Structure 1
């Protein structure tokens, strides 16, 4: 029997996550016997100030992760924008694989890769955020024997992610962000059995999608086609987890919660687009009516004026719909 330390910590955060991350790393010991990998949801463009923020916030050196970096104890590796941060054997891997819940980097991609590569040696930490990002990844970590730590929802600026985690599984620890450092200091001292058995096939398949972007025919074998379209590419989504999670043929992943939110955004976009088109039509009809009257074409002018009035009324209906949604 081979014994190994529990020396990989993976952390996921979204809205309100910077404050939680700062509170967490401030309490980490300078001699933490583990590598810490962090994903914070962020826009794809530009650069991230998070490595510098975390480097100043606590005793551990923090920096942007680079592909191929070896995992070292006492260091914090931060996902760069527009790249999944993954664990591969004893190193960091960066990938431009399909988005998950519309995000890259994605929390679930990091958690899943750590569960596949390190098994019970992993501790997953889920912090402030909306919806249910990270929950499937925590379940993968727990399924491989790893530890699960969740920020107390009452301590989170956005409690959605912690609350969904508490509904889906029983964490080993539920604490305020400022108390997570102390918990990790103890958890990373634990010794675990090295599991010689590979991770479940479905887990390894999803991890391969995040790292290499390959999906292939497997998606139709894992789950049947749903009635929903992928918000990213508009391909048919396959139900891969009994209505809880979906993937499309090119690999984009969605939870049901995230899919509802994305569809809501699409509806609002369609309402604004429709309202703009109607207002432009009304304006054009007014202009044509004016030109018709200048040519003494009264009937044509009246027809255009009627169209303008009806179109404007339709635009007002859509405007009320948009306002009510807000």
Structure 2
């Protein structure tokens, strides 16, 4: 009889400490495969597989695209790549970012749920914002089990709290009890896979394929929700809004995905970048006008030089107005 043999784990800020303790408690003969997304800078090497190999007794590696899944193994997402699963194969892709992250927890969880349904155990650990909530919603909807680290003990409780607020959580435990819980859950047999409505199944398939680098525009992703007046902070593309239970998400026609809170964070970042660009342009204007005024003064055209200096004063006044707005956030 089929058992729960696919464990997907998502972590962000503070996650290395939690993952190290979790893996240290797992038995070497665990009858499951573990897939981990830990948020990390795109241009930084990941030492997490080495850390987990020192901590526990299950081999941890960063997979290559197309690698066959090995049972009793830990796969860690490489930097700047989504970690996905398809037909007993590990996929490593550079699809569009979700919640401004690549690798994305949501992308891994959706991929696992789409392929393995009730065989999946989803685990969300410490982290900021809410990457993992949408993916966990899909895990539950397709018959999987949801597990979170108790927010009260997490270094950064936002991610497990978000799951608890938007998804029916099966288990909320401290990290010290997580290994024993997962060991027990992997020994349980599973129920039949729930059947989704055709439109929901099609949308899930499209979102999984987007993470796999398929063309979201060709797949008409904008038809899978309600058109939104908002634009994507990454590419400024048109977005559609998608409702998942109590969770509202957005997806642009090029493929970038957001929850409402991650979209707000992205918009704030865009506003700050726009303000800095305005300050830069004004300061460049001051430099150009200053140089032009000096040339005019040296040539004896004092009147024209004074007009330029008046414009310099106006630009400097605008800069003084903008800088406090940037620093105020």
TM interval, shorter chain, is over 0.9
2:322 is aligned to 318
Is 1:71–2:69 an aligned residue pair?
A: yes
CA contact (8 A) 2:142 2:194 kept: no
- 2-side partners of 1:132 and 1:196: how far apart? 25
Change (3 A) 1:237 1:196: closer
Equivalence map 1:167-316=2 (5 Å): 167-195=165-193, 197=195, 200-215=201-216, 216-241=218-243, 244-316=248-320
Change (3 A) 1:217 1:117: closer
Taking structure 2 as the reference length, the TM-score comes to 0.92
SS in 2 for 1:155: coil
Is 1:10–2:11 an aligned residue pair?
A: no
Point out 4+ residue stretches in structure 1 off by more than 6 angstroms.
none
Change (3 A) 1:310 1:145: same
How much is the aligned-residue C-alpha RMSD, in angstroms? 1.9
Deviates most, 284-293 or 195-204? 195-204
Change (3 A) 1:69 1:23: same
1:59 is aligned to 57
SS in 2 for 1:4: coil
Deviations 1:97-143 (A, max 9, x none): 22212222111111001111111111000112111111010011111
CA contact (8 A) 1:89 1:118 kept: no
CA contact (8 A) 2:110 2:139 kept: yes
SS in 2 for 1:29: coil
- 2-side partners of 1:52 and 1:250: how far apart? 35
1:153 is aligned to 151
- 1-side partners of 2:174 and 2:156: how far apart? 13
- 1-side partners of 2:67 and 2:219: how far apart? 33
- 1-side partners of 2:95 and 2:293: how far apart? 54
CA contact (8 A) 1:135 1:161 kept: yes
CA contact (8 A) 2:149 2:175 kept: yes
- 1-side partners of 2:219 and 2:73: how far apart? 39
Taking structure 1 as the reference length, the TM-score comes to 0.93
- 2-side partners of 1:169 and 1:193: how far apart? 19
SS in 2 for 1:93: strand
Count of matched residue pairs: 323
Change (3 A) 1:26 1:217: closer
CA contact (8 A) 1:96 1:211 kept: yes
CA contact (8 A) 1:98 1:213 kept: no
